[in-house]
Every structure is written in structure tokens, then in C-alpha cells.
Chain A
Amino acid sequence: MAAFEHFKDMYDVALKPRLLNTIIREHLPSADHPFSNPSELSKVVSLIKTHSLLSDSVTESLDPKLIKSLKSSFTSWVDRLLLLISSHEPDKRWAGISLLGVTCEECSSDRFEESYTVWFQKLLTCLQSPAESHLVRVAACASISDLLTRLSGFPKFKKDGSASAVKVVQPVLKMLHDDNSDAVWEAGVHVICTLITSFPFSIQRHYDSVESAIAVKLVSGGCSHDMMKKLAHCLALLPKSKGDEESWSVMMQKILILINDQLNLTFQGLEEETIRKEFNGLLILPGKQPPPPLGCDVSTEEPSTNTKKRSKQSRTSNVSLLMSGCCMLLTNTYPVKVNVPVRLLLVLVERILMVNGALPEMSLPFMTGRQQENVCSELPVLHMCSLELLAAIIKATGSQLLPHAASIVRFITKYFKTCALSELRIKIYSIAKILLISMGVGMALCLSKEVVNNAIADLSTIEKKNGGMSNGSNTDASTVAPLPASSKKRKHSSTTGSLQEYDAGGGLGVEVPKKCTVAPISLRVAALETLEALITVAGALKSEQWRSKVDSLLIVIAMDSLREGSSSEEINVFQKKELTATAADLQLAALRALLASFLSVPRPPYLSQGLELFRRGKQQTGTKLAEFCAHAMLTLEVLIHPRALPLVDYVPPNNNTYDEVHFNFRDECVSRNHTTPFGLHQTEPPDGVNNMFADYLANGDDDMGGLWKENMKDAKKSSEMATPLPSSADIQERSEMVTETTTCADVEMRTVENETVSKSDNPGESVTHFQEPATCTTSNPAVIDIRGDAATITEAERIVSDSAIAHNEAKHVELASQSRSSAQSSDTNMLQQFAFKLDYGNSVDDDDDPFPDIVDGDPDSE
């Protein structure tokens, strides 16, 4: 070979054969040289993978010489591997087998198609020979499973592949039977899983023996937890090999029966008979034969004796594994529809969650403290897996959960109240989150109270750190006091505008139960995420009870978390235990929840503080937080500059004529119980109206005034459009319009009255609205369109009759409740004024007019 034969650069194909040859020459062991350093192999693998030395695809454009050298280098690579495999030394065989596995993964399709049969035979003989060392067997298993995985990607070799796969099953089963070491089992189980997913037919004939082999191992225990998980996974995959509904159900039932047996033993004397009986009744339906126990009938005796021998600890760990098997059955894909015993599974979950280790009165004499201790030590694990099972059920059933959703919510809320371990709480938060997102608004209405109460309890630790609170009234972490909605606090919260005030005040009026311990960050993150989900799903629907509390809580948490981030050492001191969640996660979760809270209401109360937080977060370059904050700023921009006119423009119809007419009609139509005759009080008037009205009165000559002028033009224009009639009719028409305007005004006044009355009930809201009187570009959709009407009315009244304004409110209410006649009586007066108003509008006339009509003419009234 010419020493100075250069190639272009590192992307040149010519590099590949040269590099491969070098690897073969220098890094691979050969038949006669001893295999000194196994770590060389890792270099080989990484070189092969990064330069994809084996996977070149030969294209026409390549130089034929190059093609030849590619081919020859690959051939010599494979030859060397095969040579190694047939060597006598185990480590060389191991190297050869493993590298052949890598070759199966990496080589180009053409080459794989060409020579996979040879490779398969080689690997199979390695698997079958009884005298092999563990290492070689494990490697052979891995390589053969890689080969089969690759093979399953070629549809044309489906038949051939199945035929080869069948040959693997027996040796693997034999190997599992003879050998008991974890490594071999792991490799064997991996092969079986590959067979089930890639060539399901191959395993069908051996279904029972595979099941029994795995079940025996699983029940007898005695291997690592990871291994057990894999076994459970394999067991859950097994029905796929048959792929029919029946085998799935049977597998599920077998597992559940086993769980039931073990739970009966474990929970003896700890649980109520009723739920156990319910479970048993559902497990084996009356008149039906229970399936043979898990594992084959032949081996029934053996595991059952094993079960008795084993200690209680392993029994509960077994239950948890079996339950994770159930989860996998539910979450793995399956080719056909299956009948999931949802009710039964839910009863199982409930049954486990209801046991808290307390002894019922009657079983006190039958249980020693030691026994109780044993059970209690294992209970958290059991609870954890039953919650996981619950999550799997929810995930699997999706929308079909509906008939069962209510019962789930019921026991979740029950469990939420008692659950105190943070791991379990995190899990239950995540379940609540899944439920909220998947079941939507309806679920949120039910779950909101529980989620909010618990989240506030878990997040309340901030309160303590602010130093504003004394430790005097510590309550237990598990007890959640109901939140008093004190109006004083609310008022405080709404007037608080700045960070400083918040600092001094020790929170924005969030009344939360104090805890002596700081909830772990991961728990707080979970609580925040669940709140976020709640707000996302139903932040605006019937959320009055909790909305303001949550809003202020979130801004506090967000501010606090950003501050926490700056002093991360401090965090590390007392959060040593936590490996999963860090302060950064908390920041992210807090800001995410904050964004959701901003977006779900038309007019977020803490927008300015929030914007500041997002701006600060964005500066933390290179973090997830910065990415998110950039996104948040973009999203909020739409909130600040709404791109369309808000929709709300409705003034309740109180044109008496209209309502009377139709009310009569309706009475004829159907008789029904009206809470109020006109349906007027049922629908709250949009609350922006009154504020706008007040705002307008407060500063009449700013841009509101300008707006009003334009509206006046509108009024004129519309009235002109609506009245192209001769004068007699004109007057009639106008009088009608005036009637309407007056009544509108009445409503305005009346709602003002309502507001003042309700202010004592609910001052927080109204104060919030009045908080920024100067800013007229409010983001409340209730306001802007209303403005047209409100302004006009006011002005009309001003110009027209001072008496209207001079009237006290009581009189107006009276006026409103009067019938049409009263409105008519003032018609003449009003009419004149209205005409004047129109003239006025005329004089300031302008030609183009971007604003909509504002007088809501009602052609339907007759």
C-alpha cells in the first residue's frame, strides 16, 4: 500500500476502508495473539459507530476501485470476527460474538441480507453449546436478539425470520432452566422480549413453558429488583405473542388472582371485609371457572410451597411487581381490543389505598406489634404501586373512563386528605394532573377545591420563610385547614402593588396553614404543576372561590423562587436528599403556573410583577428558564396588545315592551319556574360596565372623551341609517330609540347600585378594578365595547336632564322597575334632548367612521 496515498478529508469515503483495515490490524485480537486489553474494544465500537465504517452504501457514482476496497475491508472484518468466534479462548469468543452483534446493527442492508443466515448459525451454536461461560452466553443472547431485531425490519424475510426465531426459543428456555445467574436471565429475557415483539408466532408454541418459566422465577424471587421488573415486563408482553383478546384477559386475571392471594395474607386483620369480598366477587365472576394459576399447572406445587417459605417482605415486594405487571399490560400496545376489567382494578387500587396500617378494634388481639410494624413498613411501596396502577388505568381508558371517573375522584380526594408522605403526594398530584388534562372542564369543577387546598398547604412554606409569621400556630403537614376567604385580606391583596409592599406585608394576603417543615422541592414542583393544569383547564370557569387565592399564591411563589435561585448553596444544605428536583425546576414550575394564571383570565391582577419576573428569568442565559421566559413574553404580548375587539358588548335586554311581549309568548309556550321574571338577574351584568362608567365620570376629558365623541357620531349615523323615513314616522322611531336608551341608562344605574351593594361582600374585585383608573387600555373584554353605550348614555343624560344625574340611585331602581308607561312619560322630554344630542353630533360631523354602531336597535320587539 502506498504510504502517501492521501484522501480528501474526514468525510471522504476512502477513509472508511483504510480505517477499518487499521482497526482489524491493530485493535482486534487475532487467533494467535493473546487478547490483552478488552478496553480496546470500546474504542473499536466507538470508531465504527462515529464513522459508520460498516454501513456505507455503495452508489454508482463511486470509483469501482473504492467499492472493491470497501467490500474487501468489510469481508476481512467479518472473517476476523468469525475466526474469533470459533477460537478456543472465551474472551476472544466473547469479543467476536459481541462485535458481530454490533455488525448486525451497523452494517448496510445489502450486506445484512447477504450473510445473516451464516451469522445466525454461528451465534446459535454458541448459544446451544452447554459448556460456554456466562459471558459468552450473555453476549450470544444479546447479539442474536440484535440480529432478530434487525431482521424484523425486512418484511421480505418475515417467514425466514420466523423459522429462525423458532430455533432460538428452545435453547434460551433451556439456558434459563439450567442457569440461575442474573446476567444469564437478563439476557434470556431480553431475547424472549425481542421474539415476542418481532416474531410473535415463534413463541406461540412455547407460550405455556415461557409463562411458567418466568412466573416461577418471578414468584420465587431471589433476584435483583431490576431483574424482577424485567420479568414482569416480559410477562406483560407475553400475551402479545398470541395477540388475541382471550390471552390478554387470562393473563390479567392470573396476575390479579396472585395479587389477591398475597394481599389476603398480608392484609389479614387490617382491612375491611366488605372491600375484600367485593374484590373477590369481581375477580372470579360467579359461574365462571378461574384460570389455572400463573405458571404452568405442572409447576403449581413448587411455587406455592415457595410462597409459604418466603418472608413477608418479599411477599409485598412481589405484590408491587405483579402490580407493575398489570400496569404494563395496560400501557403496552396490543393488536386487538381488549376487555379491561376497569371496575375490578379500581377496587384493587382502592382496597390497597384504604389500608393505612391502623388496626380495627376487633383484630387487635390477633396481631402482634411486630406484624403491624412489618406491614406498615411496606405500605408506602404498596400505595405507590397502586397509584401507579391508577395512573395506568386512566391512561389506558382515556375517554372511556367517564362512567368510573366519579368514584376515582371520590377516593382520590379521600386519599389526598390523609396522605402525608411526599413521594406519595407527588404521585397523587401527578394523577390529579392527568385527570384534569384528560377529562377536561367537567373534572376540574369537581377536583378544583381539593387540588387548591392541598397545593396551598404544600406551597405555604414560603410564608414561614418570609419571617412575617410566628411559629406559634403550627399545624400538622397532613391536616389541611379550610381557607378562610377573608374580605380584609382580599382587599389588602388587591391594593398591594409592589414588591416592597409584599415583602413587608409577608405575602399577598394568602391565608395558608403554616407548617414547621419545608416541603421538599419536588413536592412543591408537583403542586405547582397540578395548579398549572387546573388553571389551564378551568381557570375561568366557576373559579371565583379559589381564583384570587391561587393568583396571589403563585406570584408569591414565583417571586420567592427566583430569589431562592440566587442562593443555591443554601438550598443544597437543607435539600441534600433531593436528587431529582432542584431550585431551577421549582423556578420553572412556578413561572409556568404563573403564565397559565395570567393567560386564563382577561385581566390578571399581578401582570406587572409577573412581567418583571419573566424579564429577569430571560436573562439567565442558557437555562430552560430563559427559554420559557422568552416564550412567556411572546404569549403575554398578545394579552397586552389584544389584536381584536373583545366580544363582550351585551347590555341585558330590558326593553319592557320586548320582554313583556315575549314573556307572554313564552308563558304560552311552556310554563317553567323562573327565578326572576325577565331572566335579568340570572345573568350578571358584565362587571366592566360600572367601572367604565365610574372611570368615565372620574376623568371625562381624556381619551375617553374622544372616544365618546366618536361614539356620538356613531349614534347619529346609525340613527340616520335606521330612520330614513318621513318625519312623522321619524319621530315615532326616535322615540322608540330613546325609550331604549333611557331604559339602558336605568340599567346602568341599577347595576351601579348592585355593585355598591355587593361591594361589601366582595370588595377585592371591585377594588382591583378601580386600582388603575388612569389606564384606559384595560384588558378586560367586558369594558371596551360597553364603553360605547355607557358613554353615550351618560352624555345623553348630562346634556338632557340634570335631574337624571341628580336622581339618587334608589329612585333609579324604582324607575327601572316601573313599567313601560313611566318610560313613556318621560319620552317627550327625552326626545327633545335626544334630538339635541343628534344635532350636537351633527355639528362635529366627520366622514369616515371606524367604530361600530352602538345603538342596539331592536327590530324584533314588535
Chain B
Amino acid sequence: MDVVLASSSVDDGIGCWDLHTGAEQLRYNSCSSPFHGLVSLGSRFLASSQLHHPSSASLFFWSFSKPQVEVKSFPAEAIKPLAANHQGTYLVGGALSGDIYLWEVETGRLLKKWHAHLRAVTCLVFSDDDSLLISGSEDGYVRVWSLFSLFDDLRSREEKNLYEYSFSEHTMRVTDVVIGNGGCNAIIVSASDDRTCKVWSLSRGTLLRSIVFPSVINAIVLDPAEHVFYAGSSDGKIFIAALNTERITTIDNYGMHIIGSFSNHSKAVTCLAYSKGRNLLISGSEDGIVRVWNAKTHNIVRMFKHAKGPITNIIVVRQEIDPSNHTSSNLQAATKKHGSYLLPPLEKYANSTDSDLKTAINLGGIRGCMDVSYNSSNLISNHIKELQQQGSATASEIEMEKLKHEYQRTMEMANQWKKMYENLHEFGIKELLDGGQT
């Protein structure tokens, strides 16, 4: 079941709708998130950074089955954008100071914190193999980080810059960054307040294409095949920009590489998401409405009214068909056994190395089926082989058993004969004696 989750900057909780039926699911309470501040952690938990505590920074966790906030954590400074790797083992957050924090979700440990940008971090995204992190900042920089190198303390001490690439061509705040498929040949697309979207090559670290839009682009999302990308602009339009189309035909008079636009928004488009399973484009707007578009025809398929304030985040999550039955039964079993199954709150500061001795790991216990193997037919053939081998231990053992058995039978026979003989003997003597007497 694909569900779409939306959160807003005003405190309206997180709305959740089934994409297929349009039915509203659970509404998760009390959430007012900034842009890029809502992520799902491996489709088990939701995490969101919070706006409404201006003094104390806060981060909330929900489990998918409960509307209440499960865990509240209070990091050392205000965190706005969040990102999680696909498995949901790590959570990264970008701070106002330009620092990036990396937590291990399972233990809540703050594994790493580094100074990434001079100004606040605005968006964060993991590459499709989870080994790279791409960050955008208010200072206009887009930077690519290798998580692996960040953890390599020796190397990071040697090298001046921690990042793999630093793209500086944007002149104003970066509003959104996405990365496509293709491992090291992937492309990165970034949008900025300077009214451009720029396409970067990850492998070469160069700018491939810069597309100028008539208005500021707030959100971008890639078409799964990467023929085009969709850009939600602040004038309410969703532009289609060419990446790898076979023919570029400029329909509207917008400029290079923009091959079309569609709109039903009176207000600015604030966020976009793509449902790969159903080929739907989902947009959130400043008027608090989530619109679902057919990506081919650009018609509105559904509309969800979420909030009064602007929608800040939309994510599409694939849930199990019956969440109350399958996964949670396992979870419940675990919960019964080992107390509550809750995530620990995230740590404020990196602790000493003492706690990184153990890593909680799921050894694939939920994998249901196991290979059934039967043994006896193999055993038969093995034994037959052994039996046929003259003089092998098994054969002689069986032979011995047989002989024992034979021996027993012969002994019995002998005893029988003996007894018979004795009887006869007795009989004979008796006869003799009797004869003598008479």
C-alpha cells in the first residue's frame, strides 16, 4: 500500500492518505515541520524536525501504527532538514549553524557532527547507494559528502576539505536537491532562489546544465526514468524540464530546456513527491492542499486538504498490506518479551567511544521461510554404499548382528535339542526302571 504523508508548517499533524483509494489513514499528532523536515525511517518510523519550539530545538519520532509522538529528542541546536538512509539506520540533520549531525537511529548515538556550510543547511539527500550525502545550504553551495570518508578520522585530519565536491554556482539559497539513479554516474539536480535549476554530474563533478525559470523553484522531483524533472515554482506552476528527452520541443515560451508546465495552484508549489509504483506526481501547495497528478496526462487525480498553512513536506511510503497483522505482530512479540520497543532519543553530544562497542543488528529474523531439507533418502543411499563395500565397518556390523542373531537361534535350537534329548533320556531311564521292576 502506497501512502502519502504530508506535514505543514502550522501545527496540523501529519496527514496520511492511501494513494490507491484516497482514504485518509491515521493522522499523526502535533507536528509542524520546516521544509525537508519529514522523513520515514525504513518504513517503521517517521521522524520530523519541529518548528514550534523556537528556543529549544526538537525532533519527534512517530511509529507508523500510533498517532502519538513516541519519542521526543532535543538536539543541541535547531535542526531543519532531515534525511535518512534507505534502511533507516542513520538519520542526518542539518543545523542552522551549517553543521550536519549524523545519528544512529537504533541507539540514538550521535556518531558524527561536522561543519558543512557557512550558513544554515537547507536540504539533505542520500545517494541511491546510501554512501554519499548531498547537502544544500543558504549560502548557495551544494556539497557532496562521502559518509565513509567522514568516518575515516585519520584521513579527515590529513585533508583540508571533507567534502568530495563543492558546487558553488548557485548564487542564492539552495531550495531543493535531488539525486538520480546510476551510482557514480548519477546526476544531481539542485534548485535555488536564484531562479535556476542546475544539473550536476556526480562522476565528473561538473555542471551539466543550467535551466533558468521564470520564477523561484521551491521543489524538484525527478521522473523515475530521468527523462525530465518536475519543478514546482512559487507562482503555482509545475514546470517540466528536459533531462534526457529524445526530442526537445519547447512548447511554451519559457526558455531553454523547459518543455512545458501545468498548474492548478493558486498559490506557490512548496513540495513535490513522486509515487513510482503508480506513476503519480504529488504536489503540496501554500494553500494547504495536496494534489495528486497523473504524471502522463498532468490531470489532477486526487486532492487532499491537509492544513491551513503551507504544506512543507510530502513523502510517499510503501506500507505493508496489513500493518496491524504482519510486522507489528512480530514487533509486539518482541515488545512483550523485551519491554517496550521504542527508539531511544537522539543524543545531544557525541559520547565517548565506550558505547560504540556493540551494534544492535537485525539478523534477518523476520524472514519467514526456511529451507526444509530431508535427510533419510540421502542416508539410504549412503548406507547402501557402505553396505555394499565388503569389509566396511557398517557392513561388518550388520553381518555381526546377523551372525549374533543366527547364533542366538542356533543356541535356542541346540537347547531345544538338548531338552528333547534329556526328556528322551529321562523317558528311557524311566522305562528301563519300570521294566526292571516289573
With CB as the reference atom, state the residue of chain A lying closest to B370. Answer: A197
Decide if A537 touches B183 in the complex (CB within 8 Å): yes
CB distance from B142 to the nearest CB of A (A): 12
Decide if A133 touches B244 in the complex (CB within 8 Å): no
Q: From the candidates B146, B184, B194, B248, name the one contacting A537 in the complex (CB within 8 A).
A: B184
Decide if A39 touches B140 in the complex (CB within 8 Å): no
Would you call A638 an interface residue if the criterion is a C-beta within 8 Å of the partner chain's C-beta atoms? no
Would you call A776 an interface residue if the criterion is a C-beta within 8 Å of the partner chain's C-beta atoms? no
* A478-495 Cβ-contact flags toward B at 8 Å (1 or 0): 000000000000000000
| B383 / chain A contacts, CB cutoff of 8 Å | 38, 94, 98, 135, 138-139
Decide if B250 touches A852 in the complex (CB within 8 Å): yes
Would you call A282 an interface residue if the criterion is a C-beta within 8 Å of the partner chain's C-beta atoms? yes
Query: For the complex, what is the distance from the CA of A443 to the CA of B150, rounded to whole Å?
Result: 11
Query: For the complex, what is the distance from the CA of A337 to the CA of B140, rounded to whole Å?
Result: 42
Decide if A338 touches B363 in the complex (CB within 8 Å): yes
Query: Would you list which residues of chain B between 174 and 224 have a CB under 8 Å from chain A?
Result: 183-185, 187, 194-196, 199, 201-210, 212, 214
Query: Would you list which residues of chain B between 94 and 145 have a CB under 8 Å from chain A?
Result: 104, 106, 111, 118-119, 127, 129-132, 139-140
* B348-373 Cβ-contact flags toward A at 8 Å (1 or 0): 00000000111111111101001011
Decide if B334 touches A336 in the complex (CB within 8 Å): yes
- Supposing A537-B184, A644-B244, A721-B253 touch, asked if A89 and B402 sit within 8 A by C-beta, the answer is yes
A sample of 21 inter-chain contacts (CB < 8 A) reads: A39-B384, A90-B401, A98-B380, A146-B374, A150-B374, A245-B338, A396-B361, A398-B87, A405-B148, A440-B129, A442-B132, A540-B185, A645-B244, A650-B206, A653-B210, A662-B171, A666-B140, A679-B168, A682-B168, A684-B204, A721-B253
Query: For the complex, what is the distance from the CA of A444 to the CA of B203, rounded to whole Å?
Result: 13
Query: For the complex, what is the distance from the CA of A105 to the CA of B401, rounded to whole Å?
Result: 29
* A669-684 Cβ-contact flags toward B at 8 Å (1 or 0): 1101010000100111
Query: For the complex, what is the distance from the CA of A94 to the CA of B207, rounded to whole Å?
Result: 76
Q: From the candidates A135, A331, A399, A446, name the one contacting B149 in the complex (CB within 8 A).
A: A446
With CB as the reference atom, state the residue of chain B lying closest to A343. Answer: B357
Stretch at the interface among B25-33, B152-160, B298-306, B426-434: B152-160
Would you call A522 an interface residue if the criterion is a C-beta within 8 Å of the partner chain's C-beta atoms? no
- Supposing A135-B397, A647-B208 touch, asked if A42 and B360 sit within 8 A by C-beta, the answer is no
Decide if B184 touches A541 in the complex (CB within 8 Å): yes
Count chain A residues whose beta carbon lies closer than 8 angstroms to a beta carbon of B.
Answer: 109
CB distance from A856 to the nearest CB of B (A): 6
Would you call A513 an interface residue if the criterion is a C-beta within 8 Å of the partner chain's C-beta atoms? no
- In this complex, which of A643, A650, A859 has the most chain B Cβ atoms within 10 angstroms of its Cβ? A650
Would you call A402 an interface residue if the criterion is a C-beta within 8 Å of the partner chain's C-beta atoms? yes
| B214 / chain A contacts, CB cutoff of 8 Å | 859
Decide if B148 touches A439 in the complex (CB within 8 Å): yes
Query: For the complex, what is the distance from the CA of A439 to the CA of B152, rounded to whole Å?
Result: 14
Decide if A445 touches B203 in the complex (CB within 8 Å): no
| 9 pairs of A and B residues whose beta carbons are closest in the complex | A101-B376, A442-B148, A440-B131, A440-B129, A540-B203, A442-B146, A406-B152, A541-B184, A442-B131
Query: For the complex, what is the distance from the CA of A90 to the CA of B324, rounded to whole Å?
Result: 55
| A88 / chain B contacts, CB cutoff of 8 Å | 405
Decide if A145 touches B356 in the complex (CB within 8 Å): no
Decide if B363 touches A396 in the complex (CB within 8 Å): yes
Decide if A190 touches B375 in the complex (CB within 8 Å): yes
* B322-356 Cβ-contact flags toward A at 8 Å (1 or 0): 00000000000010011000000000000000001
| B207 / chain A contacts, CB cutoff of 8 Å | 650, 652, 683
Decide if A397 touches B394 in the complex (CB within 8 Å): no
Query: For the complex, what is the distance from the CA of A674 to the CA of B146, rounded to whole Å?
Result: 22
- Supposing A101-B379, A653-B210, A857-B256 touch, asked if A135 and B394 sit within 8 A by C-beta, the answer is yes
Decide if A647 touches B358 in the complex (CB within 8 Å): no
With CB as the reference atom, state the residue of chain A lying closest to B148. Answer: A442
Would you call A536 an interface residue if the criterion is a C-beta within 8 Å of the partner chain's C-beta atoms? yes
With CB as the reference atom, state the residue of chain A lying closest to B409. Answer: A88
Query: Would you list which residues of chain A between 522 and 549 have a CB under 8 Å from chain B?
Result: 536-542
Query: For the complex, what is the distance from the CA of A383 to the CA of B378, rounded to whole Å?
Result: 34
- Supposing A134-B397, A336-B337, A405-B151 touch, asked if A445 and B164 sit within 8 A by C-beta, the answer is yes
| B210 / chain A contacts, CB cutoff of 8 Å | 650, 653
Query: For the complex, what is the distance from the CA of A282 to the CA of B354, rounded to whole Å?
Result: 10
CB distance from A542 to the nearest CB of B (A): 8
